[in-house]
Amino acid sequence: MNDLALERRSLTAGYIAVEAEYGAKNYKPLDVVLTRGSGVHVWDVEGRRYLDCLSAYSAVNQGHCHPKILEAMVEQAGRLTLTSRAFRNDQLAPFYEELCALTNSHKVLPMNSGAEAVETALKVARKWGYEVKGVPDGQAEIIVCDGNFHGRTVAIVGFSTDPQSRGGFGPFAPGFKVVPFGDADALEAAIGPNTVAFLVEPIQGEAGVIIPPAGYLKRARELCTQHGVILILDEIQTGLGRTGKLLAEEHEGIEADLTLIGKALSGGFYPVSAVLSNSEVMSVLHPGEHGSTFGGNPLACAVARAALKVIVEEGLVENAAQVGARLKGSLEALAAPSVKEIRGRGLMIAVELHPDAGGARRVCEALQARGLLAKETHDHTIRIAPPLILTPEQADWIAEQFAGVL
């Protein structure tokens, strides 16, 4: 069916009908069909404008269709897009150098999606455990947290505690142990002689922007160092400015052994992710043991270099801290009886409703009618994560829309 035929089926309804007929039903989106984006705004096929408060789950921190990233992408696409890692390309080395300098890393392993970065870290940690720590072959254990979200592969959902993510997809790979998020004592008790890594989100995004107690990550770092365990921080959502620091680990002054980034690493233009590491841990990988056809391709590297440059040169980290604090304060001032809690850091904020408030989906639909796009998570929580270019005036407008709905 062509675009003209879709228009004859009344635009939005037509697109939704075709999706329902031909698409797998693994998402439940709001009934808005978007066709264009610029900055913090997107437009639907009928011309209505919305302020985007999801940022594609933090993939467009730099704003939609940022012109500098677009320019880099178009230029590189006209020169060279893909060689595979069978050959070298002139974008990979500067990407490595610039990313390491920005994040204080020693080594980079580029991949495509966040889930691929997580899978890479799991493989590296296990191999390190066998070759460096001396764990008996096949006995490596990795500790994860209750409420985690690290992707959708079979291995990853195998250690998820979300029944919807996990149910019906077994059998699962062994070797994972689950502890409560934010409980350093539980982490300490779970560490054994075969523990090779602790994988954790600095802030749990999909769980509803759950922030651990102050000092938790610092204590986790101390425990991992003490027991010879690799600390893996999944910063795919929290990284690259979202929380008001370049990496969320900076809030507690720590450095992980492996840090995972993605999403905003390309500004929403292209799937790019990376595993950042110290030299010791990454040194266990040798040619032929891990790779990706598209990982580290010249187009991805050129786009990522431009995306990182925008974050730094346009002060997006500092803006997230300042405007995020303003928005969070305005939401807290609402004092709406339906709101149980406002929590967040930088421009990663959640509005949790009381269970008897009628559900977060209803609120998101009402916000959509006012020109604001947000998405519910776990029935009663609305996540607010606009692009990091958000202005104070736009933050105030967001708070006004919530006030009008709540």
Q: What is the pLDDT of residue 172?
A: 97
Residue 112 shares a structural domain with residue 39: no
Contacts of 21 (CB under 8 A, 6+ apart): none
Asked if residue 13 is part of any domain, the answer here is no
- State if pTM tops 0.75: yes
Is the CB of residue 57 less than 8 Å from the CB of residue 69? Answer: no
Dist. CA 85–CA 79, nearest whole Å:
17
C-alpha torsion angle, residues 222, 226, 227, 229 (rounded to 10): 50
Asked if residue 261 is part of any domain, the answer here is yes
CA distance to 184, 186, 224, 278, per residue, from 180 (Å)? 9, 7, 16, 27
Residue 205 shares a structural domain with residue 85: yes
162 is catalytic: no
169 is catalytic: no
Residue 252 shares a structural domain with residue 115: yes
Amino acid at 238: T
Dist. CA 54–CA 383, nearest whole Å:
7
CATH number at residue 360: 3.90.1150.10
Asked if residue 24 is part of any domain, the answer here is no
Residue 366 shares a structural domain with residue 353: yes
Residue 180 shares a structural domain with residue 258: yes
Return the bridge partners of 348, or none.
345
State the burial class of residue 161 (Cβ atoms within 10 Å of its Cβ: 0-12, 13-18, 19+). Answer: middle
Residue 397 shares a structural domain with residue 304: no
Q: What is the pLDDT of residue 335?
A: 81
Q: Which structural domain, as residue segments, surrounds residue 55?
A: 32-62+315-405
269 is catalytic: no
Dist. CA 222–CA 243, nearest whole Å:
23
Is the CB of residue 242 less than 8 Å from the CB of residue 58? Answer: yes
Asked if residue 6 is part of any domain, the answer here is no
Contacts of 313 (CB under 8 A, 6+ apart): none
Could you read off the pLDDT tens digit of each residue along the chain, which spans 406 residues?
566 555 655 889 999 999 999 999 999 999 999 999 999 999 999 999 999 999 999 999 999 999 999 999 999 999 999 999 999 999 999 999 999 999 999 999 999 999 999 999 999 999 999 999 999 999 999 999 999 999 999 999 999 999 999 999 999 999 999 999 999 999 999 999 999 999 999 999 999 999 999 999 999 999 999 999 999 999 999 999 999 999 999 999 999 999 999 999 999 999 999 999 999 999 999 999 999 999 999 999 999 999 999 999 999 999 999 999 999 999 999 989 999 999 999 999 999 999 999 999 999 999 999 999 999 999 999 999 999 999 999 999 999 999 999 9
Q: What is the pLDDT of residue 10?
A: 84
Is the CB of residue 101 less than 8 Å from the CB of residue 134? Answer: no
Residue 303 shares a structural domain with residue 356: no
Residue tagged active-site, from 127, 245, 263, 328: 263
Residue 45 shares a structural domain with residue 160: no
Q: How is residue 19 written in tokens?
A: 């999706």
Is the CB of residue 140 less than 8 Å from the CB of residue 174? Answer: no
Residue 292 shares a structural domain with residue 334: no
Q: What is the pLDDT of residue 60?
A: 98
Q: Which of 313, 343, 364 is the last residue of a domain?
A: 313
Q: Phi/psi at 195 (nearest 5 deg)?
A: -75, 125
DSSP string, 310-368: HHHHTTHHHHHHHHHHHHHHHHHTT--TTEEEEEEETTEEEEEEPGGG--HHHHHHHHH
Residue 111 shares a structural domain with residue 256: yes
Write b or e for each residue in 135-148: b if 16 or more Cβ atoms lie within 10 A of its Cβ, otherwise e: beeeebbbbbbbbb
Instruction: Report the chain's C-alpha Rg in angstroms.
Output: 21
Residue 244 shares a structural domain with residue 347: no
Residue tagged active-site, from 159, 176, 181, 234: 234
Q: What is the pLDDT of residue 1?
A: 56
Asked if residue 191 is part of any domain, the answer here is yes
Residue tagged active-site, from 95, 149, 198, 402: 149
Amino acid at 167: G
Q: Which of 218, 258, 252 is nearest to 236 (CA)?
A: 258
Q: Which of 267, 290, 313 is the last residue of a domain?
A: 313
Asked if residue 232 is part of any domain, the answer here is yes
Q: Which of 35, 36, 38 is nearest to 64 (CA)?
A: 38
Q: What is the pLDDT of residue 49?
A: 98
Residue 147 shares a structural domain with residue 243: yes
CATH number at residue 290: 3.40.640.10
Asked if residue 365 is part of any domain, the answer here is yes
**Number of structural domains found in the chain:** 2
Is the CB of residue 161 less than 8 Å from the CB of residue 148? Answer: yes
Asked if residue 226 is part of any domain, the answer here is yes
Tell me, what DSSP letter sits at residue 292?
A: -
Evaluate the CA torsion angle 234, 235, 237, 238 in order and state its sign: positive
Contacts of 281 (CB under 8 A, 6+ apart): 124, 125, 128, 230, 257, 258
Q: Which of 273, 298, 313 is the last residue of a domain?
A: 313
